[in-house]
Amino acid sequence: MIDFSIKTKEYIQSEQLRRVRNDIDKRDTSIIQTALGPESWEIEGIYLDLQEIQKNGIARYARGEFLDYKAEERAVFRNDAIAAIREGVFDKEVAIGARFSTIDGDNSVIFAVTESLGAAENGYYQYRLQCETSGIVGNAYYGSLLQVASSSFVQGLTYAQLTDIIIPGVDTESDESLYTRYLLSLQEQPFGGNIASYQQFISSQPECGAVQVYPTWDGGGTVKCSFLDANYNIATAELVEKIQDLVCPPAEAPSDAGFGIAPIGAVVTVTTGAMLEINVSAKVALAAGYALAAVQEAVSEAISAYLLGIRRNWGAMQISQNTATYPVSVFLSRISVAILGVDGVNNVTGLAVNGDTVDIECEESGETQQVPFLGAVILSV
């Protein structure tokens, strides 16, 4: 890359003035200097634009729409945001298209009823609702709903609750995620049902995040694909079913008839990871003026952030002797670092995870794919 950083207003102006004869007044506020100053600002701006053009022509530095253009050269496209699909429970039947608002202050969003899920045993009615705002904003709220005045307003409705997530909402794919998939398209060539073909296809779905692929996990011709959702959580049963249909539609069991993207003869089972609860206990030495209750939440958030980082790399594959493995470890030292990074914590001792003082090695195999999530955090001083 050409380094344009030296092309500042001061450098450009000095170079221009250097080319002016010495018998002409070039001092500050002179006519020559006054004329060249504004022009130098404009030329510096041109060099800044050239720097951006140069960077946006290289995938490593490109951002936004310019990264989109580079990725499209490899037929890799940014995933759009998708809206959350949730379950709603009501004490009266409601019409398809009826709209309800969450009660969440400035963060309130509206959900529209799209499908009846039938009546529950207790006499309440269950419906599928779709958030009218795309993104993760539709995942956060649980609780009571308010009717939005419309022709489908239900008289006498006294119970309206937003409950389970059926398919989580997802934000527009980040530059980091798109760039990672772009690199994969260069490094691994998907073909004929190899590992890369399953990984790239599933991770390209906007609802999906990390993917593990296990060839011949249950004998010749069998493949297991395990994935997390786009927020790196355990995928819902409905999302697993959706991806199963895209990869290898089942009849009574996954079919080898060649439907979906799986090659003929391959029996592909799609699943999601198994939650592994990580319970942490430790003694902390606190700085003066800090109480245990004041740091408890921050410590939990710091450990959760570390575990989220592990889940983001959950699909990172290592190959040894032509065998693909997915090492996933929770290190006590990294948890200790996370705790020490919290304001008010001076030291950590007696750290234990799941009642032991050794690192956690998650089981990642064709039978079980463990995913670490934070459980209880018990601190003492």
- Of the three residues 225, 243, 272, the one that is the final residue of a domain is 272
Q: Has residue 63 been placed in a domain?
A: no
> How many helices and strands in the chain, by DSSP H and E?
8, 16
Q: Give pLDDT, residue 283.
A: 95
What is the predicted pLDDT for the residue at 251?
A: 67
pLDDT in tens, 12-24: 888 888 888 888 8
Residue 79, in any domain of the structure: no
Q: Does 178 reside within a domain?
A: no
Residues 345, 256, single domain; the answer is: no
Are residues 301 and 219 both part of a single domain?
no
- Pairing between β-strand 222-229 and β-strand 274-286 as defined by DSSP bridges: unpaired
What is the separation of C-alpha 120 from the centre of its chain, rounded to a whole number of angstroms? 34
Residue 146 and residue 103 in contact, taking contact as beta carbons nearer than 8 Å: yes
d(CA 93, CA 337): 53
Residue 73 within any structural domain of the chain: no
CA 367 vs CA 90, 128, 224, 273, 329: distances in Å: 39, 32, 9, 10, 18
- Would you say residue 24 lies in a domain? yes
| Overall residue count recorded for the chain in this entry | 381
Same domain membership, residue 229 and residue 282: no
pLDDT tens-digit readout, 365-375: 999 999 999 99
Q: Based on the fold, state whether residues 130 and 202 are members of the same structural domain.
A: no
Domain identity same for 290 and 250: no
Query: Which of the listed residues 272, 295, 316 is the one where a domain comes to its end?
Result: 272
Q: Are residues 222 and 287 in the same domain?
A: no
Please state the rounded mean pLDDT for residues 317-330: 87
How many independent structural domains does the chain possess? 4
Q: Give the whole-angstrom CA distance, residue 174 versus residue 134.
A: 15
Nearest-angstrom CA–CA distance, 149 and 146: 9
At 253 the pLDDT is: 61
Q: Tell me which residue range forms the domain holding 241.
A: 188-272
Residue 75 within any structural domain of the chain: no
Same domain, 264 and 357: no
pLDDT of 189 reads 72
Output the pTM of the full model.
0.75
Listed residues 115, 134, 167: the one ending a domain = 167
pLDDT digits (tens, 9 = 90+) for 163-213: 999 999 999 999 988 998 888 888 777 777 889 899 989 998 999 999 999
| Structural domain includes residue 43 | yes
**Judgement on whether residues 220 and 303 belong to the same structural domain of the protein:** no
- Residue 153 counted as domain residue: yes
